[in-house]
């Protein structure tokens, strides 16, 4: 049982780290001249960075930003709740609240990545999706899998 709890805890920590990197790193979209994320656009030639602005897509960008921040908050709260439930939950009960917070984080990540996929750069021929974008999509099955494991997992001695 201790090995199972340790592996789920490590999966949760991995999801937290990947979500932090995906939210903060500057490579959601890249070209040979610049890279951009959901916060700023950085140019490779002079090293300057400017805030990302889209005239007609500002609402979508804010939705992506909010969803990623909420995903990070939910996954961190889920870890804290797991630690609290580990010591306070009665034997035989499930880690329902932890699983629900992980599921909320999963839904926020898939919402942010889907909005970004549909509304940004679909007409651009000169660039590619960057590592942060890929990490966001990797976080989706990680958080979904851990939420399912938490909901199924029962506390034992």
Q: Is residue 90 part of a domain?
A: yes
How far apart, in Å, are the Cα atoms of 26 and each of 34, 36, 78? 10, 5, 26
The pTM score is 0.88
Q: Is residue 52 part of a domain?
A: no
Q: Is residue 36 part of a domain?
A: no
pLDDT of residue 157: 61
How far apart, in Å, are the Cα atoms of 16 and each of 87, 93, 117, 126, 141? 21, 25, 22, 32, 13
Mind listing the pLDDT tens digit of every residue in the chain (157 residues)? Answer: 778 888 988 999 999 999 999 998 878 888 888 788 788 877 777 777 777 677 788 889 899 999 999 999 999 999 999 999 888 888 878 889 999 999 999 999 999 999 999 988 877 788 889 899 999 999 999 999 999 998 888 776 6
Q: Is residue 45 part of a domain?
A: no
> Which contiguous run of DSSP H or E holds residue 40?
strand 40-43
Count of residues for the chain?
157
Instruction: HSE, CB side, 13 Å, CA atoms: give it for residue 14.
Output: 16
């Amino acid at each position: 049982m201790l090995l199972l709890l340790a592996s789920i805890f490590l999966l949760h920590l991995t999801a937290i780290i990947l979500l932090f990197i995906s939210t903060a790193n500057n490579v959601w979209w890249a070209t040979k001249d610049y890279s951009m994320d959901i916060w700023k656009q950085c140019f490779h030639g002079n090293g300057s960075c400017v805030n990302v602005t889209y005239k007609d897509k500002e609402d979508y960008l804010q939705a992506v930003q909010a969803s990623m921040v909420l995903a990070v908050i939910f996954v961190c709260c889920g870890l804290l709740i797991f630690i609290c439930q580990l010591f306070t939950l009665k034997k035989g009960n499930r880690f329902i609240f932890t699983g629900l917070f992980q599921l909320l984080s999963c839904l926020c990540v898939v919402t942010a990545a889907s909005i970004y996929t549909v509304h940004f750069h679909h007409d651009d021929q000169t660039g590619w999706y960057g590592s942060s974008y890929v990490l966001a999509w990797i976080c989706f099955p990680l958080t979904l899998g851990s939420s399912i494991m938490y909901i199924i997992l029962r506390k034992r001695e």
